[in-house]
């Protein structure tokens, strides 16, 4: 390799070589290892002089990048089509819409009560008041602030948390016995008033 070729490389990297010579030299460098090595070493000197204190000195990174790219599948740069450019926001919208749909669907499933099994109706004691309409949600044992069912009103959440601390043994009444006792009581009251 002549000194003239090397001087041309030096001029080329500074933008001081005529167009035609530059193109010719670029082509030659791609097949001539010695020329390529000079290009790399001249740039290493540049790197050393431009190196900032925190950065390591970079040494022929091009070879390792090309090696890595070659080990991957395609060497052709990836052409992003014009179609992709306007498809991108559409794809984003589609993903957002489907997430919202799934969220709504799941939420509704949690809220709905299966209609096949109607809730049994029991007589209650005065303390037990009534079951809330969706009494199956009683299984939630979280304080109202951290509930998984934010749609329930705070009163119902409070009720649930209080009820969960009490034993939930339903009390059954013999309605006929009560009716008999009530009749007896009425008769007694009537007799008393007649006397």
Partner 1 sequence: MKSQDQDKMSEKKLDAELVEQAKKGIMSAFELLVNRYQQRVANVISKFIKDKHEIQDVAQEVFIKVFRALPNFRGDSSFYTWIYRIAVNTSKNHLVAKSRRIQNTQVEFEDAESFVSNEDFRNLDTPDAVYSRGELEQTMSKAIAVLPEDLKKAIVLREVDGLSYDEIALKMNCPIGTVRSRIFRARDAIDQALRPLLDDENMRKQHVR
User: What does the binding site for partner 1 look like in residue numbers (CB under 8 A)?
Assistant: 3, 6-7, 10-19, 22-23, 26, 29-31, 36-52, 54-66, 68-70, 75-80
Question: Least Å distance between CB 146 and partner 1?
Answer: 24
Question: Least Å distance between CB 155 and partner 1?
Answer: 40
- Maximum distance among all alpha carbons in the chain? 143
What residues have CB less than 8 Å from 35, skipping those under 6 apart?
A: 1, 5, 6, 9, 25, 28, 29
CB-nearer residue toward partner 1: 81 or 126: 81
Question: Least Å distance between CB 96 and partner 1?
Answer: 22
How many Cα atoms occupy the beta-carbon half-sphere of 81 within 13 Å?
Answer: 3
CB-nearer residue toward partner 1: 32 or 132: 32
Residue 181 tokens, joined: 């006792």
Residue 24 tokens, joined: 């010719």
CB-nearer residue toward partner 1: 79 or 176: 79
Question: Least Å distance between CB 88 and partner 1?
Answer: 13
Residue for token digits 């409070």?
A: 158
């Amino acid at each position: 390799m002549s000194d003239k070729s090397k001087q041309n490389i030096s001029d080329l990297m500074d933008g001081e070589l005529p167009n035609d010579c530059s193109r010719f030299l670029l082509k030659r460098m791609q097949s001539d290892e010695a020329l390529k090595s000079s290009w790399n070493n001249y740039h290493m000197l540049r790197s050393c002089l431009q190196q900032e204190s925190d950065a390591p000195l970079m040494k022929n990174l091009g070879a390792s990048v090309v090696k890595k790219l070659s080990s991957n599948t395609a060497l052709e740069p990836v052409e992003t089509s014009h179609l992709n450019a306007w498809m991108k926001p559409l794809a984003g919208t589609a993903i957002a819409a489907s997430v919202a749909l799934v969220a709504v669907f799941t939420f509704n499933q949690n809220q709905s009560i299966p209609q096949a099994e109607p809730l049994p109706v029991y007589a209650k004691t005065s303390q037990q008041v009534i079951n809330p309409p969706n009494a199956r949600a009683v299984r939630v044992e979280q304080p109202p602030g951290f509930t998984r069912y934010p749609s329930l009103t705070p009163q119902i959440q409070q009720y649930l948390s209080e009820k969960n601390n009490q034993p939930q043994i339903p009390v059954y009444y013999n309605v006929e016995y009560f009716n008999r006792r009530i009749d007896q009581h009425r008769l007694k009251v009537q007799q008393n008033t007649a006397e």
